[in-house]
A and B are shown apart, each in its own frame.
Chain A
Amino acid sequence: MSSIMGSLSIAVRAMMADQGALEVVSNNVANINTPGYARERANLVEEPPVQNGSPIQGNGVALQSVTSLRDRVLELRLDEEEQTKGKLGSYMEVMSQAEVYFNSGSGHDLGGVLNSFFSSLSQLSTDPTSMAYRQQVLQAAQNLAAEVSGDSKSLTTLQSQVDQTVTQQVQQAGQLLTQIAALNRQIGFNDSDEQNGALIDQRTQLIRNLSQLMDVRVVNNAGGISLTTGDGTSLIAGDHVASLSVHPDGDGKLRVFVDDADVTDSLQGGSLRGLLDARDQGIGGLIGQLDQFAAGLSNALNTAHQQGYTLSGAQGGNLMAPQATVSGAAARMQVAITDPADIAASSDGSAGSNGNVNNLLALQNAEVVNGRTPSDAVADIVFQAGSDVSNASAELDGEQAVLDQLDQQRSSLSGVSLDEEAANMVRFQRSYEAAARVISIIDDLTLTVINIGTGGAVS
């Protein structure tokens, strides 16, 4: 048997459910620009029916739960792509700074100073007794040495700047881990989906932020999630939060530690990987090539120079500071003589001979730098510096396209649409109004019942 009061409570529940649904709409609209927010949906269900004899009648509506619309797999893919993008982005940024030192248009013209040096020798060959020409050779050699050692030192400075960024990012990653662990605990305590929706949004976003810094793998398990690096070093497991730190190695370069494990080489993604790659492979490689160049050229010039005779007829000495080891040769590159008369231009001991100038000039085409001519070695360095950037840039463009697409996918599932929210708002508003109307009708009905036989005393 149905009752008027039964109808009243159905209408009241309907109003409550609609109110709840409107709250969800309001929350969605409020968070339209919140990063990481996944739109929520009010799940309305029928109340369990009451059976007062027959027929079985419905018992109204209830707001059962609020669901965040989120695709976990998509979120994980986004994390991964962010890691790749972070790696490429930071690598490219650092290598673009390194490239400047090999851009002839930016005043760092390694090829140009090398050419000037050989040109000055070529000029000296026409008049080996000219002090002006000798002075030019000396000056050009000093310029060459200054450019090479200057480039090498600038690159080393860039490496230590990278280390500062590494330190900052490791600190950031550490803070993110702490925040994620705190959220993890809260999510574990909370039962309500509604509260978890917001917390999981936040945690997802923090993991996204962490992914930009380093590679993270998310493992879902009963008590929440645990995080590891790509190679399985634990970052968050249960109550344990790993501490991230940096320590300098023998050369003063920073290494990254997760608790006691050195992950410098095993990190696979994130901007930390990009920074470390840029520091060790990218810039390190360029410095290595400069070292080869400086050592090869200095030693070859010295060997040739020692064969000749100075203006005063003395046996030639070292033209450049001798390089016993390749490592660090570029930074040490220096001219060994200060008196232009000490340039060993002569091959027969007489002042007017240019024979040894020709020997020195022949080094232009001699494979003195690791099997390459000096000019080819410079070309190799320029190519390397350029392709480091252009390859990373091309990969980054591709990565950005992938990310854009995934973001679109995420947005099509989780993004808040104002049109949709407006429609929902109208819908729930109308049904709220209808329910209120139902209550007012029931009120009338109740009045009718109350006034039976009273002649309308109660109104």
Chain B
Amino acid sequence: MRVAPDQNAMMLAALAKTTAAENQALTRMSTGRRVNAPSDDPAAAAAMVDNDASQSRNDVYTSNAETLQEQLQTADSTLSSVVTALQRAMTLGVQGANGTLSPQDQQAIAAEVGGIRAEILGLANSSFQGSFLFAGTNSTQPPYLDNGDGIVTYQGNSASNVAGISDGQTMAINLPGSSLFNAVGADVFQALSNLEKQLSTAGDIASANTQLSAAYNNVVQQRVFYGNAMNQLERTQQFLGTEKVDLSQQEQDLVGADMAETTSALTQAETARTALLEASSKVSQYTLFDFIPG
């Protein structure tokens, strides 16, 4: 068979191929990614959409967890102050029930209990970033309103918010005041008002004390919620950290360039290209015409 005389076409096609390979390797080197457009690997690019979504959720869960942790911390330390105040009130109640105090001392104790009640009212109306912590979901206004005469009304509701803290995991992020301060049979303000009243009138201080300790026990019990919630969040944050590493590893596997492989691909392409260029400069320099004396 006659040999095809046009070596240029072949040479050009081969050069185009090695140049393409070289360009591809260079792009991969410079971006660090194997997949730089969906067409480089459509399946990987599609899987990356999912990976991106997971990473994006991981990021927002992580930043949400920080916000929530602060919010829970604020609520918990508020309740810690409430507990301390209630303990003081209970001590005062026991003192008042002693029966050996003068009426003036009784009045003084009653006044101090009244002060504690006001303090707790303030604490119960605490807010975090403009939202009242113990108002249920009605968190844009202070939940507890002092109507005078020892009557405190609750303006919040008994609902609580739930937030997603990782994929498929949700948790309640607040306790409504109705289960903390004005729970049925354990109303903190009623108990304090009653104690104050019984102290100042030398009435049935003992049963007022019983009422107060019921309210106290309720607050202590309910407060556990915040401790648990913070623990849970902490565990979730650890998980999110691990997941983040996993997800970016997954991203690397999906679309990242294997640098060793890419480097060797680049070298190969360069070598092939140089060899081709050298060959093409040597080949077909001469034809028979050059040797025919003119």
Please give the residue numbers on chain A whose beta carbons come within 8 Å of chain B beta carbons, in ascending order.
96, 99-100, 102-106, 111-112, 114-116, 118-119, 122-123, 125-130, 346, 348, 350-355, 358, 361, 364, 375-376, 378-380, 382-390, 393, 400, 404, 407-409, 411-413, 415-423, 425-426
Contacts and interface: CB of A to CB of B under 8 A. Distances in A.
A420 B157 CA distance: 101
Given A115-B57, A118-B56, 6 more contacts: A111-B49, A122-B61, A128-B161, A129-B131, A383-B45, A385-B42
A122 B60 contact: yes
A353 B49 contact: no
B129 interface: yes
B39 A422 contact: no
Contact of B37 (A99, A355, A413, A419): A99
Contact of A348 (B3, B61, B159): B159
Interface in B132-179: 132, 135-140, 157, 159, 161-164, 170, 173
B73 to A, nearest CB: 14
B105 interface: no
Best-buried of A102, A105, A358, A423 by chain B (most CB within 10 Å): A105
A382 to B, nearest CB: 5
Nearest to A100: B37
Contacts of A116: 56
Interface of B: 1-6, 9-10, 13, 31, 33, 36-43, 45-50, 52-53, 56-57, 59-61, 63-64, 67-68, 71, 129-132, 135-140, 157, 159, 161-164, 170, 173, 287-289, 292
A351 B161 contact: no
Given A119-B59, A125-B163, A393-B39, A412 B2 contact: yes
A163 B3 CA distance: 43
B38 A385 contact: yes
A422 B46 contact: no
A394 to B, nearest CB: 10
Nearest to A425: B292
Contact of A123 (B60, B162, B173, B287): B60
Contact of A352 (B50, B68, B131): B131
B164 A125 contact: yes
Contact of B60 (A102, A119, A400): A119
Given A129-B130, A348-B137, A379-B50, A411 B287 contact: no
A95 to B, nearest CB: 8
Given A103-B38, A382-B49, A408-B10, A352 B138 contact: yes
B213 to A, nearest CB: 31
B48 to A, nearest CB: 7
B286 to A, nearest CB: 9
Contacts of A376: 50
Contacts of B36: 103, 105
Nearest to A353: B137
Contact of B46 (A364, A379, A411): A379
Contacts of B137: 346, 348, 350-355
A105 B3 contact: no
Nearest to B8: A33
B67 A127 contact: yes
A421 to B, nearest CB: 8
